Structure 1
Amino acid sequence: MAAHSSRTSPIPHTPTPDPAPRTIAELVRAQWGDHRIGLKHGESAVTHHQLAAGAAARAALLGELLPRDAEPHIGVLLDNVPEYPLWIGAAALAGAAVAGINPTRRGPELARDIAHTDCALLITERAHLPLLAGLDLPLPPERVLIVDDPAYQELLAPYGGARPDAIAAVPGGGGARTPGPATRLLLCFTSGSTGAPKAAICTQGRLAAAGHSLVRYFAVCPEDVHYLCMPMFHGNAVIAGWAPALAGGAAVALRRRFSASAFLPDVRRYGATYFTYVGRAVQYLLATPPAPDDRDNPLRTGFGTEAGAVDAARFADRFGVRLVEGYGSSEGGAALQRTEDTPPGAIGRPAPGDDLAVVDPATGAELPRARLDAAGRLLNGDRAIGELVNRGRSSFEGYWRNPEATAARTRGRAEGEAGAGWYWTGDLFFRDENGFFHFAGRADDRLRVDSENLAAAMIEDILARYAPAAGVAVYAVPDPVAGDQVMAALALRDGAAFDPDGFAAFLAAQPDLGTKMAPRFVRIVAALPVTATNKVHRVALRWAGFRCPEPVWWSPQNAPGTRATPAGSGHRPLYRPFTDEDRAALMAQYRDHDRGRLLDR
């Protein structure tokens, strides 16, 4: 099984040879003059040369539009359309940075993401304009560019002759920034337990190194086609899909949004040899009706996380495609790689050059290896489970305008103190006697639902508006297939009773409730359990999950992968009592995917 926190696909950490381009800007410039197909989307195809020219035109436009005293940051609120990689390439050439804006966010939280990353320009499309309606955006309307509006093409037209080798660095914060390995290129949002998402910094050097590393790891060549069906605001698609294609001279094929039914037709039409995935995407593909020609496809490899050993084996058997699983982070702090000899239930071993360990979070002391019985059950969890840290050199580059979160990752310990300078993942692991790492939970209150990282505190803030509730706690319960499901415990006010229809109506009316935030399970308690320091005892709630003595209501259709209560959509989850029969059927799903042990933590 793969880990759950702010994870994208694992990136093998191997040294980059000196001759390899050290920046994404260099890789974009190298496309100039290459007239092979570089990008496929729908019925259209463009060459590498055209991509370089398009990136140069947009980079030149940046020099005109960006205020000289602003950070050179571009918010990109797009589905997977050709404009997305073009603007990443433009930012690279101009020494600017792209903040991937998540379209599943809503209302003030969406506006907050744009403001927090100091976006001086916002690139979007007509389909997403309703998300921006009525928001207090931190930039004027003339700096919101709509890529499928004719005015956008008119704006770009004067820069059509720009060459990538002649682009000047755009001004930002008072001075121009010539692109180099240390130049910011991506601001990737990732969630934590503190509430608002954090924007992890990824420089041109780190992204280029990741691309080169994956080229070597997967032997990427110019004849390959990387199918990008995961959203490009995630690190998965950009770091694990687009960057190695760029570094290896391969083409990319874009799918606007993931579609299980369109997957194989797309793969065959585009001649895709490689794809990236996160979490339940693999399960959705397995849920499509089998066909006798399923193995008739050009795919060689799928690369990602959270598919799970059971589904990975099913995928290989059905489609003839090997899935490479592992553990990594958008922050670049630690990585684990799954190998052929990785046992069931384990993630893998450290990437080459990493010094990963499981330590006591309080002291930094390395914990003893885990002892497992013949059935794979952990026998010494009280001594073996701790936090995963990287004690060696980390490529973590910090969070944008969040020194507290940055310090928390390195713990801000004094020089010489145990743990000083380490990268602390915030995830709990144990390590077996053969050196394989096993995921054991999270050290904070993050949830990962349908490949989206959510913060419990944010959902709690929304549910706290529910008038009958005197107290609210939100926590994760493992999904039967991958990631988590949202569960909420509600302590009701005196005299109040839980009204499932009223609760569903309340959720549908919340403008900042994201599409994946609605609880699937609701536990009604007399009072929230607390610790000795009067904090909500979330560990106890997670351990009990839906197997608790109090009444539980659930929304069977509100599972990960469904459109869960988008504001203004008219859809709402339907809650009904969670019966013994429901519990038995759900437990069978856990057993079928070898995930029942996650309920026994």
Structure 2
Amino acid sequence: MQYLLATPELPDDRDHPLRLGFGTEAGAVDAARFRERFGVRLVEGYGSSEGGAAIQRTPDTPAGAIGRAAARDDLAVVDPETGEERAAAVFDEGGRLVNGAEAIGELVNRGDTPFEGYWRNAEADAARVRGGWYWTGDLFFRDLDGFLYFAGRTDDRLRVDSENLAAAMIENILARWGDAAAVAVYAVPDPVAGDQVMAALALREGAVFEAAAFAAFLAAQPDLGTKMAPRFVRIVPAMPVTATNKVHRVALRREGFRSTDPVWWNGAGGGAYRPLGGEELAGLLAEYEAHGRTALLSSISPMA
């Protein structure tokens, strides 16, 4: 959807037979833009490939939500470490989730499922079914009415200054930036403890990354929490994808900020982005070494 939206607008954008898109994985911002431009409503769904959990969309599903649990499922959002159910989501007047640290957790199915296990893979079985529950490996939060909102894969969770963040929520905000054709958010290790936020951006044709304009855009977003602004920004010619056309987050995390693509950073988080290279990169790597966290970084050679 992002790449289609990045193409130049044409007078015949609505001259087509398409009436509905399902399962496109588009964020709320892109879905609204797509409907406005092409006249097509995008509907998202959720179902575990193994059949362990499913969410059904109903006519009263709020914007941004996937839906409610299917009738046969007993779905809950729980702390992945303790199994305790997470608090209901609380939103401010602008629709921003204000209690993400307490509300975001892993989606589990506590009821019966048709999942019978993986073929000759006891280790994978043990990771998927624990304590009699089916663990989806996906992050969600749930509002007071029981509607479920997708927040990313468990691998996409970030912990910044002891605060839990979900990559998908930050991506939905960055997708509003007019020069972005595609966005991916992921964690890189903090030099001392936890994570820092990194974003990969593929720009629209003809666009050039302007650090000051991007920083101003971030400052203008009312639902961008104080820990959510990317510390690192990587400008990619095209978003890397897997064989199934999903963003290749593993590759992005593996390379981190030591990429051959242009990388910008805002140092101590002051908001001003500058190119990462030379002495600044050397100083940053020395900080990781001083705290014994160099091994957490990729083995890829530093940028030239």
The answer to whether the superposition gives a TM-score over 0.5 is: yes
Taking the aligned partners of 1:553 and 1:379, their CA distance within structure 2 comes to 25
Taking the aligned partners of 1:559 and 1:307, their CA distance within structure 2 comes to 15
Partner SS state of residue 44, structure 2: strand
Q: What pairs with 1:148-547 in structure 2 (closer than 5 Å)?
A: 282-411=1-130, 413=131, 420=132, 422-444=133-155, 478-479=170-171, 480-481=174-175, 484-485=184-185, 488-489=188-189, 528-530=191-193, 537=194, 540-542=195-197, 547=230
Taking the aligned partners of 1:541 and 1:374, their CA distance within structure 2 comes to 28
Amino acid corresponding to residue 62 of structure 2 in structure 1:
P
Distance of aligned partners of 1:295 and 1:327 in 2 relative to their CA distance in 1, 3 Å threshold: same
Taking the aligned partners of 1:389 and 1:574, their CA distance within structure 2 comes to 38
Post-superposition shift, 1:384?
A: 3.0
Conserved 8 A contact 1:305-1:327: no
Taking the aligned partners of 1:385 and 1:329, their CA distance within structure 2 comes to 19
Taking the aligned partners of 1:310 and 1:573, their CA distance within structure 2 comes to 30
Distance of aligned partners of 1:309 and 1:559 in 2 relative to their CA distance in 1, 3 Å threshold: same
Distance of aligned partners of 1:401 and 1:484 in 2 relative to their CA distance in 1, 3 Å threshold: farther
Partner SS state of residue 298, structure 1: coil
Post-superposition shift, 1:542?
A: 4.3
Identity %: 58
Distance of aligned partners of 1:364 and 1:485 in 2 relative to their CA distance in 1, 3 Å threshold: closer
Distance of aligned partners of 1:354 and 1:380 in 2 relative to their CA distance in 1, 3 Å threshold: same
Q: Please tell me whether residue 557 in structure 1 is matched to residue 237 in structure 2.
A: yes
Instruction: Provide the TM-score with structure 2 as the length reference.
Output: 0.56
Taking the aligned partners of 1:577 and 1:310, their CA distance within structure 2 comes to 25
Partner SS state of residue 541, structure 1: strand
Q: Which structure has more RCO (C-alpha within 8 Å, separation ≥ 6)?
A: 1
Taking the aligned partners of 1:545 and 1:367, their CA distance within structure 2 comes to 21
Partner SS state of residue 430, structure 1: strand
Determine the structure 2 residue equivalent to 1:71: none
Conserved 8 A contact 1:301-1:324: yes
Determine the structure 1 residue equivalent to 2:286: none
Deviations 1:553-574 (A, max 9, x none): 7344354569999xxxxxx943
Determine the structure 2 residue equivalent to 1:574: 261
Taking the aligned partners of 1:405 and 1:396, their CA distance within structure 2 comes to 12
Post-superposition shift, 1:341?
A: 2.8
Conserved 8 A contact 1:555-1:573: no
Taking the aligned partners of 1:487 and 1:366, their CA distance within structure 2 comes to 25
Post-superposition shift, 1:575?
A: 2.6
Let me know the Cα RMSD of the aligned residues. Answer: 3.7
Distance of aligned partners of 1:302 and 1:409 in 2 relative to their CA distance in 1, 3 Å threshold: same
Distance of aligned partners of 1:357 and 1:296 in 2 relative to their CA distance in 1, 3 Å threshold: same
Conserved 8 A contact 1:558-1:573: no
Post-superposition shift, 1:323?
A: 1.6
Taking the aligned partners of 1:321 and 1:368, their CA distance within structure 2 comes to 35
Post-superposition shift, 1:440?
A: 3.6
Instruction: Provide the TM-score with structure 1 as the length reference.
Output: 0.31
Conserved 8 A contact 2:156-2:187: no
Distance of aligned partners of 1:387 and 1:575 in 2 relative to their CA distance in 1, 3 Å threshold: same
Taking the aligned partners of 2:36 and 2:127, their CA distance within structure 1 comes to 43
Taking the aligned partners of 1:384 and 1:553, their CA distance within structure 2 comes to 27
Post-superposition shift, 1:529?
A: 3.1
Conserved 8 A contact 1:557-1:573: no
Larger Rg: 1
Taking the aligned partners of 1:483 and 1:395, their CA distance within structure 2 comes to 35
Distance of aligned partners of 1:392 and 1:367 in 2 relative to their CA distance in 1, 3 Å threshold: same
Distance of aligned partners of 1:435 and 1:488 in 2 relative to their CA distance in 1, 3 Å threshold: closer
Conserved 8 A contact 2:76-2:85: yes
Partner SS state of residue 438, structure 1: strand
Taking the aligned partners of 2:80 and 2:51, their CA distance within structure 1 comes to 20
Taking the aligned partners of 1:485 and 1:560, their CA distance within structure 2 comes to 13
Q: How many residues align?
A: 213
Post-superposition shift, 1:445?
A: 5.6
Deviations 1:378-400 (A, max 9, x none): 34444433321112232334333
Q: Structure 1: which 5+ residue stretches go unaligned?
A: 1-281, 414-419, 448-474, 490-524, 531-536, 566-571, 584-601
Q: Structure 2: which 5+ residue stretches go unaligned?
A: 159-165, 176-181, 199-226, 252-258, 275-304
Taking the aligned partners of 1:483 and 1:405, their CA distance within structure 2 comes to 30
Taking the aligned partners of 1:445 and 1:372, their CA distance within structure 2 comes to 22
Distance of aligned partners of 1:311 and 1:332 in 2 relative to their CA distance in 1, 3 Å threshold: same
Post-superposition shift, 1:405?
A: 1.4
Post-superposition shift, 1:309?
A: 1.9
More helix as a share of residues:
1
Taking the aligned partners of 1:374 and 1:545, their CA distance within structure 2 comes to 19
